[in-house]
Amino acid sequence: MYYQKLKKFPKNFLWGAASAAYQIEGAWNEDGKGPSIWDTFSKIPGKTFHGTNGDVAVDHYHRYKEDVDLMAKMGLKAYRFSISWSRIIPDGDGEVNQAGIEFYSNLIDELRKNKIEPIITLYHWDIPQASQDKYHGWESREVIEAFKKYCRAVFEAYGSRVRYWVTFNEQNVFTAMGYRWASHPPNVTDIKRMYAANHIVNLANAEAINLFHQMVPNDQIGPSFGYGPAYPITADPKDVLAADNADDFNNNWWLDVYCRGKYPTLVMNHLKNLGVAPTVTFEDTKLLKSAKPDFLGINYYHGGTFQQNQIEHPDKGNQHEKKISKTDPYLMQPKDAQAQTPETPMFDSVQNPYLDKTQWGWEIDPIGFRITLRRVYEKYQLPIMVTENGLGAQDKLEANGVINDQYRIDYLQTHIIEMQRALTDGVDILGYCAWSFTDLLSWLNGYKKRYGFVYINRNDDDQKDLARIPKKSFYWYRDFIRKN
């Protein structure tokens, strides 16, 4: 690559960290909160790692002041968190729960007092159980009105104090995990239902954006997408085509709808041929086209590498090692069950021989981050907010109270440099939220897989004292933010 002097991050760049309600709050049934689908699902035996759940999580609900205090000590400029819908409207579409409104109101005030920009996610996977029961959750159009009612309540309560809003977190992940693999609620394995629910979420996303623009005209809103660049394993045009197909199925299928109000032709045709395409009315298309996000949230962990499918091309033999993981939500083929992925004859997911992996087998690919930012920006021309990026690892609390997570520092540093290269290339980036601020509950990996700058003294079967202990990466990020 030719030599380029790196552009400086702008003064108002939002150096942040992120979290999600179910993964940190706890207090699952306190102060009027109703149960969400995760409260129910995590209690089905065998569904989560060692039966872990978010009943207590890291008790952020009771310790938010201590947590914000640590954020301030770190010099954080932004904090992304999600609102639990069933704390605001416990039964999904009935009365607003004032105690719920108050909790986030206090959190926002605490953040603002410390000059930390709140970034709110409206939906990080936890629809009220009541809406699931009453409307079949995202499978029914009626849920859109309920979602709008919840949005209206929080835009009204916090609109004047919060400038950045995320509609849906990783729609690609929660629909696939929830409806294809049954590894998330609502525990379904039916791709026709998955594509139908996904379409309803698209409509809800568009309605939320339009409502926001009416109610909070000067601030910004957009979805957060779990993006992975698609690489072909070789220069064989058949592999290149496979990677193109994967890109369409894994990325464009959502991003085109968010940014252009239209499903990509190839995937739509394929789904129609398979008889699993969603029903899209004329009115739907009008709505999707009318909603314009102000920015795109990108969650980046890793990409995917693809080869021509072995069923379609048996002559090729199986040269490349297939990728299979039961707990990686970014994998199109987490289980070797072709029946559940009738779309995938168009591509096979394989290991990338050039990349190292995390303890959980996720590829570590900082350059893929630059590729991500450039591809997405060039294609959709929207400012990008990096809403998640980070390393899950088994951290060790040493006898002297130190957590030496140099590997996390290395991970973040290499990714941030690639982000700076993308910025230098010309990508408009608003901020970077590392996943996560404190350690928290990993949906399917319990409390063992840690991401935080702050260690939480608990494990899967023992809540211990939930003490907050800054890791080495905490001080590294603090110094990094100061310098930048």
Would you name the residues annotated as active-site residues?
170, 388
Shortest spacing between CB 223 and ligand BGP, in angstroms? 12
User: What token pair was written down for 149?
Assistant: 């009612």
Q: Verify binding: residue 256, ligand BGP, rule CB under 6 A.
A: no
The residue from 226, 228, 278, 431 that contacts ligand BGP (CB under 6 A) is: 226
Query: What is the CA 141 to chain-centroid distance, rounded?
Result: 23
User: What token pair was written down for 308?
Assistant: 């021509």
Shortest spacing between CB 438 and ligand BGP, in angstroms? 13
Q: Which window, 96-104, 244-252, 378-386, 441-449, contacts ligand BGP (CB under 6 A)?
A: 441-449
**Between residues 20 and 422, which has the closer beta carbon with respect to ligand BGP?**
20
Q: Which window, 165-173, 246-254, 272-280, 474-482, contacts ligand BGP (CB under 6 A)?
A: 165-173
SS3 for 18? strand
Q: Cα separations (Å) of 377 from 298, 407, 418?
A: 11, 29, 15
User: E strands within 290-407?
Assistant: 296-300, 304-307, 348-350, 384-388
Shortest spacing between CB 279 and ligand BGP, in angstroms? 28
Sheet of 348-350: strand order equals 230-232, 304-307, 348-350
Q: Verify binding: residue 299, ligand BGP, rule CB under 6 A.
A: yes
Shortest spacing between CB 437 and ligand BGP, in angstroms? 12
DSSP letter string over 360-373? TS-B--HHHHHHHH
21 to 40, contacts with ligand BGP by CB under 6 A? 23
Residues whose CB falls within 8 Å of the CB of residue 294, separated by 6 or more in sequence, listed in order: 220, 221, 222, 382, 383
Q: 397 φ, ψ to 5°?
A: -85, 110
Q: Verify binding: residue 173, ligand BGP, rule CB under 6 A.
A: yes
The residue from 42, 169, 308, 344 that contacts ligand BGP (CB under 6 A) is: 169
Residue in the shown chain whose Cβ atom is closest to ligand BGP: 442
**Between residues 167 and 169, which has the closer beta carbon with respect to ligand BGP?**
169
Q: x-or-dash pattern for ligand BGP, window 185-204, by CB under 6 A?
A: --------------------
Shortest spacing between CB 174 and ligand BGP, in angstroms? 9
**Between residues 34 and 329, which has the closer beta carbon with respect to ligand BGP?**
329
The label of the residue with tokens 């400038």 reads 163
Spatial distance between the Cα atoms of 442 and 359, rounded to a whole number of angstroms: 14
Spatial distance between the Cα atoms of 201 and 221, rounded to a whole number of angstroms: 16
Q: Verify binding: residue 297, ligand BGP, rule CB under 6 A.
A: no
The b/e string for 69-94 (b: 16+ C-beta within 10 A; e otherwise) is ebbeebbbbbbbbbbbbbbbbbbbbe
Residues forming a β-bridge with 299: 226, 388
Q: Verify binding: residue 412, ligand BGP, rule CB under 6 A.
A: no
Kind and range of the H or E run holding 295 = none
Shortest spacing between CB 18 and ligand BGP, in angstroms? 8
Spatial distance between the Cα atoms of 328 and 444, rounded to a whole number of angstroms: 9
Q: Verify binding: residue 457, ligand BGP, rule CB under 6 A.
A: no
**Between residues 23 and 372, which has the closer beta carbon with respect to ligand BGP?**
23
Kind and range of the H or E run holding 31 = none
The residue from 443, 453, 474, 476 that contacts ligand BGP (CB under 6 A) is: 443
DSSP code of 252?
A: I
The residue from 14, 17, 20, 422 that contacts ligand BGP (CB under 6 A) is: 20
Region of 426 (left: φ > 0; alpha: ψ -120 to 50; beta: rest) is left
Spatial distance between the Cα atoms of 359 and 393, rounded to a whole number of angstroms: 6
Q: Verify binding: residue 178, ligand BGP, rule CB under 6 A.
A: no
Spatial distance between the Cα atoms of 426 and 295, rounded to a whole number of angstroms: 16
Q: x-or-dash pattern for ligand BGP, window 310-329, by CB under 6 A?
A: -------------------x
Q: Verify binding: residue 153, ligand BGP, rule CB under 6 A.
A: no
User: What token pair was written down for 376?
Assistant: 């997405």
Number of residues that bind ligand BGP (CB under 6 A): 16
Q: Which window, 100-108, 130-138, 191-199, 436-444, contacts ligand BGP (CB under 6 A)?
A: 436-444
The residue from 92, 392, 452, 470 that contacts ligand BGP (CB under 6 A) is: 392
The residue from 25, 388, 395, 439 that contacts ligand BGP (CB under 6 A) is: 388
SS3 for 192? helix
Shortest spacing between CB 376 and ligand BGP, in angstroms? 17
Binding site for ligand BGP (CB under 6 A): 20, 23, 169-170, 173, 226, 299, 329, 388, 392, 435, 442-445, 449
